[in-house]
Structure 1
């Protein structure tokens, strides 16, 4: 999901996997072109002694890598904008080497475990989906990445699929694995706000079912490319306006089209404040989503993955319905999920 700032700024498009940052992310990000052309974090002098493996979160518009030692400690973290959307399949290895090549030893192979879009059909190599209900995948189910550099042993984690209703996720399953690593007996729902928000029912260590909503993408399109772009502020937040519109969106989801144009009309006729319009747009869309996702949150133990505005918006929305939730740091659960996937392969547990 493209990540933005909810109550502190930018509505439901904040915190998404695809553009982060799961995402945000598990869950922001933007790439600019071919491998190595994204805006990478500056190279600091790092002691790579003890490097055991490298974890990678590869989104549509971001690339994030962590160098991990044998005790599970993070030696370094690096980012670039070389996401899947900026690369042809042959460009993935170069993008990865641009980011972490100096961490690799002169001899020997370093395990590199990737989650996210690198394993998609348009990615480095396809890692086929696993069908739910199932436990989050481990490295034992990962596809091999076709790296030519002899120092790289790349594995691409698969995503999850659901037959009825048809749905898929790629990357969020690793964040779910991270949440379960922290709380193995969790029985409830994990909400992952983003460009494409996921609601996943989890029980007995398995993802039982899930639904995806394009709420974040709709927010981005409506606020940036529709007639509402003249009405909605680029940032800012009004909690009261969000709450009022949320109630309207939940009570009358079939009226969404009319309510959306009503924002434009109110701006023309009543001088509607653009910040209020932004919060109302967010509230209408999230309200429509909550109405449809009611079985996933009503009476459930809900954990929200994210640390940005979108996560706060969803937490506020649930609180207004009398539903308690807790928030998990997106980056922390992503890294924990990668570590759990690697451990599962080493112990034979999936």
Structure 2
């Protein structure tokens, strides 16, 4: 890259980090990624990891705006939570300590909610970017993932949000319980998934029993691993939908993410008569980081 960036955008998660060399107009000049996520680094290791990542992007002053788990208590430096309701970027950046001349590293704070207690870190930037790309949008944003988030947005603000352990529970059950013997496959059964969604949504109170029934049906009825795996996912997503019914029923809903999870959550919502809009998570993250950089000028 021959052109020196005006600033650098960084999305630093638990497992990975992505960086983009940016112009003042929000154009991407270059990008880089590494597996040196927050979970692998001590506080003193963040600055060297960053310099390794962006080392070829000029030798002058480097102003970085970052989001994600880099601002967690276990990250480079803690960026205190701001409270909802409010704008997804309600406060200034938290500056991390640096030793490299000309380097400044500002972190976007996460958001918290008192009742019911909930937190987010990184998703607020995606919401800010989504709203920047879709001015005047009101409704519910659903961010699938390890910890799916339902986020109510109105008048440019986050009104409330709720987080579940749906993805993490799926990983735990399929990898570390008796169900691992029934779901060990890469195959997928769409019909079994939608059946699980319907059952989980209709009877969330029976979830624990229906989860064990997957194992029993594998032993007694020859339930195939592809169907068992898909039903497990469907039951958990269905129970999540049941708990979040007021967030999607009759509401404008937008899915924001990427990959297979978009497909499963889209299918689950469509089976309930919801036609979700869709947004790319990376595009929204970049737009949100750009909005944070502009607000910090």
| TM, length-normalised to structure 2 | 0.97
Report the equivalent of 1:131. Answer: 83
Deviation at 1:151, TM superposition (A): 2.9
1:118 aligned partner = 70
Match of 1:185 among 129, 132, 136: 136
Partner of 1:84: 38
Residue matched to 1:58: 12
**Which of 282, 285, 288 is equivalent to 1:334?**
285
Return the match for 1:146 from 73, 84, 97. 97
Distance in structure 2 (CA, Å) of the matches to 1:173 and 1:111: 21
Inter-partner Cα distance in structure 1 for 2:121 and 2:252? 23
Distance 1:58 1:207 in 2: 22
Contact persistence 2:82–2:112 (CA under 8 A): yes
User: Is 1:238 aligned with 2:189?
Assistant: yes
Size of the aligned set, in residue pairs, is 297
Contact 1:58-1:115 within 8 A present in 2 as well: yes
Output the CA distance in 2 between the equivalents of 1:281 and 1:308.
19
- Identify the residue that residue 290 of structure 1 maps to in structure 2: 241
Match of 2:232 in 1: 281
Q: CA deviation at 1:95?
A: 1.0
- Tell me how far apart the structure 1 counterparts of residues 24 and 154 of structure 2 sit (CA, whole Å): 31
How far residue 343 of structure 1 moved from its aligned partner, in angstroms, is 1.4
User: TM-score of the superposition, structure 1-length normalised?
Assistant: 0.83
Q: CA RMSD in A?
A: 1.1
Match of 1:270 in 2: 221
Partner of 1:6: none
Supply the distance in 2 between the matched residues of 1:237 and 1:337 (Cα, whole angstroms).
34
CA contact (8 A) 2:4 2:58 kept: no
Structure 1 residue 71 displacement after superposition? 2.8
Structure 1 SS opposite 2:163 = strand
Instruction: Please give the alpha-carbon distance, in whole angstroms, between the structure 1 residues aligned to 2:272 and 2:261.
Output: 17
Choose from 11, 14, 26 the match for 1:72: 26
In 2, distance between residues paired with 1:137 and 1:72? 17
Q: Which sections of structure 1, spanning at least 5 residues, go unmatched? A: 1-45
Offset of 1:142 from its aligned partner?
A: 1.1
Mapping of residues 19-30 of structure 1, within 5 Å:
none
Give distance in 2, aligned partners of 1:148 and 1:50: 21
Report what 1:98 is aligned to: 52
8 Å Cα contact 2:129/2:286 also seen in 1: yes
Equivalent residue, structure 2, for 1:36 = none
Could you tell me how far 1:247 is from its partner in structure 2? 0.5
Structure scoring higher RCO (CA < 8 A, sep ≥ 6) equals 1
- Tell me the CA shift for residue 70 of structure 1: 2.8
Distance in 2, Cα, partners of 1:71 & 1:134: 26
SS in 2 for 1:199: strand
Q: Displacement, 1:327?
A: 1.4
Q: Which runs of 5+ in 2 are unaligned?
A: none
